[in-house]
């Protein structure tokens, strides 16, 4: 087997092991223990394995580090728009916030945001 093929194959295996570790977290919780290790420790180990393989993909010029970082930044931008990851944990009581903070904003997705006016906006 050629070196680059082996790197790709092991990276593929590590992706599957990360998938399995995340599945165990969902099924049994982050702190559940099995055979002397918690699911968090297993997830960390498998993500470390995958991280190693990603580094080897770069070092072997199979992928370009800058293009990878650009793709990562693009994904973060998509998550910012299309996921709840970066939104506040709890929804505020809009009636209270509207009474307290007079600036109401509706963004391009139709979401209502209520925020306090900065002093230079008065
Ligand atoms: Mg592994």
Asked if 90 and 84 count as a contact pair (C-beta separation under 8 A), the reply is no
Using 50, 70 and 90 to split pLDDT, how confident is the model at 88? confident
Asked if 42 and 21 count as a contact pair (C-beta separation under 8 A), the reply is yes
Task: Spell out the residues 6+ positions from residue 92 whose beta carbon is closer than 8 angstroms to its own.
Answer: 114
CA of 25 to the centre of ligand 1 (A): 16
CA of 46 to the centre of ligand 1 (A): 5
CA of 44 to the centre of ligand 1 (A): 10
What's the average model confidence in pLDDT over 94-118? Answer: 54
Using 50, 70 and 90 to split pLDDT, how confident is the model at 94? very low
**pLDDT, tens digit, 9 for 90 and up, residues 40-59:** 999 999 999 999 999 999 99
For the beta carbon of residue 39, count every other beta carbon within 10 angstroms. 21
Answer with the residue of higher pLDDT: 108 or 67. 67
Using 50, 70 and 90 to split pLDDT, how confident is the model at 78? very high
Q: Is the dihedral of CA 110, 115, 119, 122 positive or negative?
A: positive
Domain range list for the chain? 3-86, 88-122
Strand pairing report for 37-38 and 33-34 = antiparallel
CA of 22 to the centre of ligand 1 (A): 13
CA of 6 to the centre of ligand 1 (A): 15
Token representation of residue 53: 């393989």
């Amino acid at each position: 087997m050629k070196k680059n093929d082996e790197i790709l194959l092991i990276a593929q295996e590590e992706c599957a092991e990360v998938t399995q570790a995340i599945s165990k977290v969902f099924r049994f919780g982050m702190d559940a223990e099995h055979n002397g290790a918690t699911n968090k420790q297993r997830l960390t180990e498998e993500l470390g394995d995958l991280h190693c393989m990603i580094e080897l993909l770069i070092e072997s010029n199979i992928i370009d580090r800058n293009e990878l970082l650009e793709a990562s930044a693009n994904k973060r931008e998509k998550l910012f728009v299309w996921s709840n990851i970066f939104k506040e944990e709890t929804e505020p009581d809009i009636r209270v916030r509207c009474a307290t903070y007079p600036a109401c904003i509706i963004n391009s997705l139709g979401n209502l945001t209520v925020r306090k006016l900065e002093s230079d906006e008065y």
